Amino acid sequence: MPSVLKSKRGGIKSMNQLFENLFIFEMANNHQGDVEHGLDIIRAMGKITRKYNIKAAVKLQYRELETFIHPEYVNRTDVKHIPRFLGTRMEEQEFSTLVNAIKEEGMFSMSTPFDEASVNLCMDHGIDIIKIASCSALDWPLLTAASASRKPLIVSTGGKKISDIDKIYNFLTHRENFFAFLHCIALYPTPAENLQLDFIHRLSKRYPNVTIGYSGHEDPNDIITPMLAVAKGAMILERHVGLSTDSITLNAYSMNPDQADAWVKAAIDAKKMCNIHGNGDKYVSQDEVDSLNSLMRGVYVNKDIPKGTPIKEQDVFFAMPCLEKQMNSGQFYDGIVATKDYKANDGVFEIKKKDNIAIVRNVIHDAKGMLYEAGIPVGSDFEVELSHHYGMAHFRQNGALIINIINREYCKKLIIVLPGQKHPVHHHKLKEETFQLLYGDLQVDLEGKVEHLKPGDILTVPRMAKHSFTSSKGAIFEEISTTHVKKDSYYADEKISRLDPIERKTILRNW
């Protein structure tokens, strides 16, 4: 088990929690080869971590310089980076001192190894997370060594096309590594017009099971970019940090502690702005409801209406204010029956009753919304079947919406299960079917054994096998089967079995 899971820093209990809302302070070579200066940077980042109570990591860079740099180039000053790497060199024990200080400050330790020997050093130092730099993201020997460490990996994608990132994704998933991707532009510093922050959203859509973050190199005073990155869905944020002294000047893309403080605060503020308060749905406060109600139009009659008389569209007008419990303009429908006597200009206080047509319409709207969110197009040539085993009024508790697409020697259906909905125990004598979950969560009880499916999972239901299914948050799954034959569903509940199929099904052509 990776050491990070055993750590209590940040209260981490699972790998997914590790990467969620993680701030990475990239020290790189800003320690200048001086342990004390490196410790000062770590302490400064520790103060910010505690001030905002964030989950943070400080990242170092490891290179075995004797082999990393070709011996004929060691004394060359005309090759970019080599003089800086050599001029900021630190010994293994000095790096170990920094790693221990990072952990003592309550942060996770990270390192970017640039060669296989440095991966081993990460292991020796008990590094929590290994980072793969953009320049190494297609370095297969290094990736092989990092993958074998079984440490959590974070991979920067600067300069990599989507086809390159696909290769990295497949390499790491085949090896069952736990990893995250960072959108990155490898320009130092990065001009605002080159940030391409929309790519964060594309990565999130393409790799839905991978945490996506952002590694920035923009102006250190820029606090708009981290806010936009959060709004685009970045769960990890990384920036270079350092300390200026009389003899040390930071480069154009590294932040001092004050800038790092403002960067963290901006990201936290953006997270608060973007957070949905309704457990996945939009939260609507009573203050918001009251505010809108004060502007809504109420329904008023323009003539006397005796009790028991249908109220027609020509009998009403809409005007503000809409009083408490008064019918508003959006609730009115032609022909509602008056339950009391109304005088001209009276407000209408009637309750819109839900009939089966209204229930079906609401269900269809919800099903369409799930398909939109899942990105599943259904075309225009299909039949919709609502299975309501205990009546349409109880459809949201028991039933399913079935989109019949093909029924030949083979059969294809899309089945939509609403949140909390259950489909009762049944079996088929003629049909064998295979489910593949496309969206959401699905629990299938197959002959008493419950299978918890996640998107992509496949489950075959043999003939005569008793099965039922349900979903906590809603599901869409594809059913591929042999030919569907009417009256081939046999339910365990005799109440359902006694019903004529017409009584428990509503059929719609398209929608």
The per-residue DSSP string of 334-389 comes to TTEEPSS-B-TTPBP---PPP-HHHHHHHHHHHHHHHHHHHT----S--EEEEE-T
How far is 7 from 15, CA to CA, in rounded Å? 11
* CB-based contact 114:142 (threshold 8 Å): yes
3-state helix, strand, coil in the chain (%, to 5): 35, 25, 40
pLDDT band at 12 (very low <50, low <70, confident <90, very high): low
| Mean pLDDT, residues 110-117 | 96
> Residue 3: is its pLDDT beyond 60?
no
CATH 3.90.1210.10-classified regions of the chain:
289-337
**Span of 10-24, 156-170, 361-375 with lowest mean pLDDT:** 10-24
**pTM score, whole prediction:** 0.83
Task: Identify the DSSP state of 11.
Answer: G
Mean pLDDT for the chain overall: 93
pLDDT at 335 (0 to 100): 92
> Residue 2: is its pLDDT beyond 50?
no
- pLDDT tens-digit profile of 155-171? 999 999 999 999 999 99
Q: What would be the CATH architecture of the domain defined by 3-274?
A: Alpha-Beta Barrel (3.20)
More confident: 75 or 295: 295
**Span of 37-51, 79-93, 171-185, 496-510 with lowest mean pLDDT:** 496-510
Buried b (16+ CB within 10 A) or exposed e, 160-195: beeeebeebbebbeeeebbbbbbbbbeeebbeeeeb
pLDDT at 13 (0 to 100): 57
Unique residue bearing structure tokens 């990475």: 24
CATH 2.60.120.10-classified regions of the chain:
357-509
| Mean pLDDT, residues 359-367 | 92
Query: Could you tell me how far CA 481 lies from the centroid of its own chain?
Result: 32
pLDDT at 358 (0 to 100): 85
CATH 3.20.20.70-classified regions of the chain:
3-274
In SS3 terms, 215-258 reads as ECCCCCCCCHHHHHHHHCCCCEEEEEECCCCCCCCCCCCEECHH
DSSP-based three-state secondary structure for 155: strand
How far is 25 from 41, CA to CA, in rounded Å? 10
Backbone angles phi, psi at 487, to 5 degrees: 65, 25
Class of the CATH domain delimited by 357-509: mainly beta
How far is 378 from 510, CA to CA, in rounded Å? 10
pLDDT band at 499 (very low <50, low <70, confident <90, very high): confident
| Mean pLDDT, residues 49-59 | 98
How far is 240 from 256, CA to CA, in rounded Å? 9
Q: Does domain 289-337 have CATH number 3.90.1210.10?
A: yes
How far is 56 from 60, CA to CA, in rounded Å? 13
Task: Identify the DSSP state of 324.
Answer: T
Nearest to 347 by CA among 338, 356, 334: 338
More confident: 230 or 9: 230
| Mean pLDDT, residues 188-208 | 96
Task: Identify the DSSP state of 211.
Answer: E
> Residue 11: is its pLDDT beyond 60?
no
**Span of 195-199, 271-275, 351-355 with lowest mean pLDDT:** 351-355
How far is 276 from 229, CA to CA, in rounded Å? 17
| Mean pLDDT, residues 233-257 | 95
How far is 395 from 179, CA to CA, in rounded Å? 41
pLDDT at 8 (0 to 100): 40
Bridge partner list, 130: 111, 153
Q: Within a 10 A sphere around the Cβ of 150, how many other Cβ atoms?
A: 16
pLDDT band at 7 (very low <50, low <70, confident <90, very high): very low
- pLDDT tens-digit profile of 62-89? 999 888 989 889 888 888 889 889 889 9
Nearest to 231 by CA among 203, 263, 267: 267
**Span of 76-85, 331-340, 403-412, 439-448 with lowest mean pLDDT:** 76-85
How far is 101 from 109, CA to CA, in rounded Å? 9
pLDDT at 14 (0 to 100): 63
Structure tokens at 191: 């001009």
How far is 469 from 452, CA to CA, in rounded Å? 10
> Residue 6: is its pLDDT beyond 50?
no
pLDDT at 28 (0 to 100): 92
pLDDT at 5 (0 to 100): 45
| Mean pLDDT, residues 39-45 | 98
pLDDT at 21 (0 to 100): 95
- Opening angle at CA 459, ends 455 and 460, nearest 5: 150
pLDDT band at 503 (very low <50, low <70, confident <90, very high): confident
> Residue 423: is its pLDDT beyond 60?
yes
> What type of residue is 450?
V
